[in-house]
Structure 1
């Protein structure tokens, strides 16, 4: 390694001399690294060679400071754009990742990513023009999450594209390409494939777990999406995972980061740690792979982790060099990768040279982008059941009851890692707008889960400021609530997602607000008082600190339960400190043990049809949460059933014998067995984005024919699942699950029907590309979209092989009576067998090839009757 570094430095010295010579000739650049005509790596080497050790280390943490003597501005590497630019003010919010996986539409993914990167570039340049260089304002995005959703209990599975490596690969590749752009010289943004590798929960033990798999599972399941991201999409960044794999911490793994990522796949970008993952190397009761921060820093960098999201490298990496735990040349190598990325983004060049710098800010949350968000929401809808063709519903219906905890809840549109939409259309609002002449009644019906009520903004009549309703709001242009406030007013509610800064003349994102007054309840009882914020906040009740936010970096709700007596005043003070570009603050509440069921039943009794909006929320499933409830554990689920409170509501409404549709909004598969057996229609809507309510209404009332397919298996019970911590793929996902699923992977109904014929598989020799073709016809009475799915199976020859594996798919649109030929080319690697020790075997023999709009072999509600499937056994020669 050291000899290679010396050669690189020798070459670099020549390059630098050439660059300096050029500078002296043209008298244009103070340093060679400023010359945009040099290659990014050459510029990075020149820049790194001029830096002190302390300066180098300072640039290897996510919040890198400026180095004024070299003209390096400060830069924060942390940014998010999972389904829209996140946490940076207004942006277009698309369906959550799992919803986009349900579209099975690679062209849509490309268009969505292009929109996101357009908005990212426009935002970045606006921030720079205002001298804002903080968190969520850069061009390096920690997206996409291409882990395999192997277990429905994982709370972060909502961020992924599903359980299948091939589907995840195709969607991930298009998303990465759309983010990074196609300019031959400059990157549009940097995409980051995460979390590398073998990572999918549990959340609560991710800092200490050590996972093991066979080489077969590693190569067949956990690595393909990452390999495609690097080999096909040229992703520029990879984020290593928290856990250990085969005894090595993933961010200190020679196997993963050196042998596979760089040596085998040729990855030439940079690796960033998951946030504070390096701390897990040495902290008590975690991985225990290092004894000190210095050793951890050395191990991570030597293994290939270039950038630290956290606080370990600086200053410990400098100490590691001085203690000879690592050579400074290895630090140089890591920093060259990082600085090369910044040069590729054009960060040191005049904006006139960077084509993406000219994207106008007017594209952000534009009408064009909103239309694409709505289209993505529509395509993500999966019709799970439609008995007796209850759907689509008639628009002539006179009374509709829209019931359920997700019926009018904005958070359930968004999922986690979301941006700030201009507006949010809930299912209730979407249906009400769709039926202007009908009576549309709303009722919550139940808590989301036992012990987790749906919190709503505290209304103005329950807040007092002197003689006025509301709270006194004082707005300060500083971070300490000091001096005279710029604004002093009465705010009727604390329910703010500021699209513009409340203090208009404010030049930065830093401001504080203090709200004071009294809280008065109309009814006595136990209440949950909640505060949702994206920065720092403290809530005092009767002078005592009850809710405390400390720099959570993303919108989070914290709460306090207390007894309130009707009519009694309780002093309340809220101190809110905003420090980045997504200011929001909400004071919320709910009365615990409130009877929500009776008004819901009353609403349903009045209705001609009932739409029940059930499911989960991102407040209880997501990343490492302090939430432990019946069925939920630290962001994950301990039980995959619909929560008990909602099951009770569903059964009560069912007893009324009304035409009922269940709309599910969730980020992971639910065991909705009662609904599958008894309710005539079920629509899976995921967390559908800002226009989700419109999309749901369009599907329910026939203005859009659903065509989405499940990207995950819906199981019947938690008992069907292996141990959560077991990463062996036995009895997991559609490929290896031996039981009967509630709804299988690839399942999805349509309002029309599709027939398949002219199925042909060309004669294929082992090792050659296999060509498959089929004709698909819309045999129904309306236009529709079909996802043509192609699977292969080696199980006839090998009982240890997957039942079947997805190797191709295409989403097509067919008018009534229209036919289309669809063809696929399948590589030998796709139809090969992988042995337990990871060998890829391509040999002659029988291969089962399956094509259709679903998998074969299912009955009842698990069978998509609106589609067809064909199977053929072929001989590989």
Structure 2
């Protein structure tokens, strides 16, 4: 039996074994995403796919309808993947899941005023449990930005201005998301937005952030370091901004030097939506999308979201002909595969419909969450 099919082996060993068996087409599929529900999805998943957004679920009337949509997509992905690699499904999670009947929570700035780490962990548990019930295992939360400029329109997502509050509550939210499992599935938290996003010039979204290294690490990096060290954070999303003149998504000193080498992060870095292509289209760096894509992947961005744009066919050709170092791709694929084995997706690619799908049959205080669901 192939080692990657042996569930008694570690996720890393299974990922290494599977990686050695894959073609470049399969590898490129694992570092990309696709908008599910559009006509071109069949072409996007012709070699499988790394992950799929689930924002469409908000439009369904019932949970069973949403689950059927999710599992039908997974069946199509597996049918097209030569090694039957399941897709990861991702969704926002800061204020709850975008799912019919799911619990809605106050924004981060309100929860920061609670000064209640245990409450924050329980909120994370509920969000994780509700999303896992529909097979969603990559949760785009918590927001660990430090906000000290009220002109920034996304201030409400943050826990506020204090890095200690953000570090404490963000770590507990991460534990709530990651430290439980049901139906064989575990979820990864994706903390965002790395790093110094809210220190952008003029409080403008995605503008350059002139932030000295000490301030960057001790203030804006503290909550990320805490989540990594204290909660074993497994996902990070870079910010849209340029940090001291260099786009975060293409910054190797930031995404590898600081995040991985100094902070000790060992999980998956996923792009903020269109942030990889923005390096070329908006921030006007490099001569082509594929060149920007190569720099972002080399910097440490393991997955382009929400669809394939810069991690494209032209970049694949560079890996094939040796113009680009294949080890850059291999590192990104390995991290994505390891996360899928860790989540339990290979053993449980589909979700069993049961009573947990009726969120309303559990009486949860929507603000205080005094008693987490039993399962």
Output the TM-score relative to the length of structure 2. Answer: 0.80
Match of 2:127 in 1: 116
* 161 and 85 in structure 1: CA distance in 2 versus 1, 3 angstrom threshold: same
Match of 1:82 in 2: 94
2:150, 2:203 within 8 Å by CA — same for their partners in 1? Answer: no
- Which runs of structure 2 are paired with 1:99-498 in the superposition (5 Å)? 99-124=110-135, 138-182=136-180, 188-200=186-198, 206-207=205-206, 209-283=207-281, 286-309=282-305, 310=307, 311-322=309-320, 324-350=322-348, 360-362=355-357, 364-369=359-364, 371=365, 373-375=366-368
Match of 2:60 in 1: none
* 323 and 152 in structure 1: CA distance in 2 versus 1, 3 angstrom threshold: farther
1:249, 1:281 within 8 Å by CA — same for their partners in 2? Answer: yes
2:144, 2:170 within 8 Å by CA — same for their partners in 1? Answer: yes
Q: Deviations over 1:474-504 (max 9, x none)?
A: xxxxxxxxxxxxxxxxxxxxxxxxxxxxxxx
Match of 1:48 in 2: 19
Q: Greater CA radius of gyration, 1 or 2? A: 1
- Which runs of structure 2 are paired with 1:16-95 in the superposition (5 Å)? 23=1, 31-63=2-34, 64=49, 65-66=77-78, 67-73=80-86, 75=87, 77-86=89-98, 88-95=99-106
* 306 and 170 in structure 1: CA distance in 2 versus 1, 3 angstrom threshold: same
1:122, 1:359 within 8 Å by CA — same for their partners in 2? Answer: no
* 172 and 316 in structure 1: CA distance in 2 versus 1, 3 angstrom threshold: farther
Distance 2:367 2:204 in 1: 37
1:51 is displaced (CA, Å) by 1.4
The structure that is helix-richer by fraction is 2
1:160 is displaced (CA, Å) by 1.1
* 179 and 287 in structure 1: CA distance in 2 versus 1, 3 angstrom threshold: same
List alignment gaps of at least 5 residues for structure 2: 35-48, 50-76, 371-375
Distance 2:196 2:134 in 1: 34
List alignment gaps of at least 5 residues for structure 1: 1-22, 24-30, 125-137, 378-877
* 289 and 330 in structure 1: CA distance in 2 versus 1, 3 angstrom threshold: same
1:150 is displaced (CA, Å) by 1.4
Tell me how large the CA RMSD over aligned residues is.
2.5
1:202 is displaced (CA, Å) by 7.0
Distance 2:314 2:237 in 1: 21
1:148 is displaced (CA, Å) by 0.7
Q: Deviations over 1:284-319 (max 9, x none)?
A: xx3233111121111011111100014221324303
**Larger relative CO (CA 8 A, sep 6+): 1 or 2?**
2
The structure that is strand-richer by fraction is 1
Q: Deviations over 1:831-852 (max 9, x none)?
A: xxxxxxxxxxxxxxxxxxxxxx
Distance 1:245 1:274 in 2: 15
1:270 is displaced (CA, Å) by 0.9
Output the TM-score relative to the length of structure 1. Answer: 0.35
